[in-house]
Amino acid sequence: MTETATRAAPPETSLPRRALPALLGYVGVRALGLAVLAGWSAARGTSAHKLLSARWDSLWYARVAGAGYGHEVRLPNGDVHSDLAFFPLLPWLERLLHTLTSLSYADAGLAVSALASLAAAGGIFAVADRLYGARAGVCAVLLWAVLPVGVVQSMAYSESLFTALAAWSLYAVLSGRWVTAGLLASLAGLTRPVGAAVVAAVWVAAISSGRTGSAPGPHGALLSARAPGWRRVLGAALAPLGAAAYVLWVGHRTGDGLLGYLDVQAGWRNGFDGGYAFARFVGGMLTGFPSALGGVALIVGVALLIWLYVTGVRQRQPRALLVYSGVVVALALCASSYFGSKPRLLIPAFPLLFSLARALARARPARAALLLSALAALAAVYGAVWLNGSGPP
């Protein structure tokens, strides 16, 4: 079935005003999660502040912000953990905020993450609102907030920053702002390796828009593409520059050329194996008890991800969103990285939540509010227990 190109009437209220309920709800969910984390950590004699700002990857980012690149750790088994594995935009922002405010690098990372998570929530709302309406946009933001590992959104990690850049880049694509989309994609490429997903989305959208002469408009309508072709070409050309610049710089610094960054990742035992290592990990869990329960849960989780993606295809999500979420999921599940980190690697795949958001938007407001409140409470407890335990490596 082919959609008919049409002009959608401009929204009656501005985007910031429409987004306000979503942002307030997001702040409420995150505040609940942080309050439960603080209480749980105090009961255990640990520091919630330290868990959020000075553990795992946040330590590496803060070190890069303060001293630049060049630190590495050599493990007894011969592996080399180099800080070159960490893309530079977050530590750059930490250093900038530290210079402007005298915050510690760790606290600057928390501040960047807090602001970026709000920007991410706004971007998620903007995309969902444009396609499906304001109620679906609010539901999409709240579903993203109540993810079981949503506490990572408040940590000095790069997930929130990346999601913000990705969401607004996709919104720029949907609204035909190709140069903006390319610039934001380039910044996303300076944030995480999965910036490739945003680049791919911009490229696919630019090609398909050039062929059809239309782009998704408000509430799923198609708008005639007004941007001249050179803007699409420029946006597509800008999109990969951030990631390419950093990868080339790492290759020059290590002396290994184009393979330099891959060698750095190999030192962390990170690579792309098509999911073989993950399948072996799940299979190993299924051989014992109670680990078998965890293995079954992982299989169910992967099946849910696939179902959500297929549902998005059936509901005719824009190609840019399908490409973006598909690449994010593929890189998360098919990489040989530490398996405990995979849930947080999936945080940026917010378009997968849109089918659930649409269903919630059609439900009675009281039922939707009750369900989201229950999920927020469960996520707050899970995040507090998880962060005080194994946590997100």
In 10 A of CB 380, how many CB atoms? 24
Question: Could you read off the pLDDT of 6-44 as tens digits, one per residue?
Answer: 334 445 688 889 999 999 999 999 999 999 999 999 999
In order of 87, 116, 339, the CA distances from 376 in angstroms are 31, 20, 25
- Predicted confidence pLDDT, tens digits, the chain (393 residues): 333 333 344 456 888 899 999 999 999 999 999 999 999 999 999 999 999 998 889 999 999 999 999 998 888 887 888 989 999 999 999 999 999 998 999 999 999 999 999 999 999 999 999 999 999 999 999 999 999 999 999 999 999 999 999 999 999 999 999 999 999 999 999 999 999 999 999 999 998 876 665 555 565 544 444 567 888 999 999 999 999 999 999 999 988 877 888 888 888 877 776 667 777 777 776 777 666 777 787 788 888 999 999 999 999 999 999 999 999 999 988 877 666 678 889 999 999 999 999 999 999 999 999 999 999 999 999 999 989 987 665
Mean of per-residue pLDDT scores for the chain = 88
Q: Quick one: pLDDT at residue 11?
A: 55
Q: By 3-state DSSP, what share of the chain in percent is helix, strand and coil, each rounded to 5? A: 70, 5, 25
Please tell me the distance from the alpha carbon of residue 235 to that of residue 259, in angstroms, as a whole number: 26
Question: Could you read off the pLDDT of 340-381 as tens digits, one per residue?
Answer: 678 889 999 999 999 999 999 999 999 999 999 999 999 999
265: Cβ contacts below 8 Å, ≥ 6 apart: 85, 193, 271
Is the whole model's pTM more than 0.95, yes or no? no
Q: Quick one: pLDDT at residue 5?
A: 33
Look at residues 72, 110, 70 and name the one whose alpha carbon lies nearest to residue 90. 110
